[in-house]
Amino acid sequence: GFGRDGCCATSEVADFSTAFCEDAGHFDVERVVFAPGPPLAQRRGGCAVARLDAGRALVAGGSDGLSRQRSTEVLSFTSMSFGPGPEMVRPRSGAALVKFDASKLILAGGLDGSATGYSDTTEVLELQNMTFVRGPRMTLRRAYGAATLYNSSQKIGT
């Protein structure tokens, strides 16, 4: 993300376990507690994140304030530390990332340094070998969108 000093290389962890109010029997958002999380290896403003499996998440791309990144980092929930992840096909920030089946994630759009700045390209991360490959083109160039799995046959919306 971005902070007052530019792009951040820090993370935060939200503890939702404190937010359920037993007495009232409801979730109280004001009781959520944030704490510093593990540091990233580099600054990543406009990065994308998605869960890989029960024990890991992927942080992809972003900008260090000077250039867009092709690199990714993998967060281990067990050790609460980041390690290097696979290289993306192209550098980008402001992309959307979503897991669309048990073995694949799709990274869509973003800013990629092309003539228009906005990208209509996608990349697919094959989890079996942790490799990004070129994916299908979107109909429009876009950045800073969002993605979600919303039914079994159509997977992404940005």
Q: Are 107 and 116 in contact (CB under 8 A)?
A: no
Tell me, what's the pLDDT at 16? 87
Tell me, what's the pLDDT at 27? 83
Is residue 115 exposed (0-12), middle (13-18) or buried (19+ Cβ within 10 Å)? exposed
* Residue labelled with tokens 């967060």: 75
| Residue (of 155, 149, 89) closest to 125 by Cα position | 89
Q: Are 127 and 105 in contact (CB under 8 A)?
A: yes
The string of DSSP codes covering 32-90 is: -EEEE-PPPSS--BT-EEEEEETTEEEEE--B-SSSB---EEEEETTTTEEEE-PPPSS
Q: Each residue of 16-42: pLDDT tens digit?
A: 888 887 776 788 888 899 999 999 999
Whole-prediction pTM: 0.88
Tell me, what's the pLDDT at 154? 58
- Residues of the chain where predicted confidence (pLDDT) is lower than 70: 24, 152-158
d(CA 133, CA 142): 19
Give the Å distances, CA to CA, from 108 to 24, 30, 40, 145, 154.
42, 33, 22, 9, 14
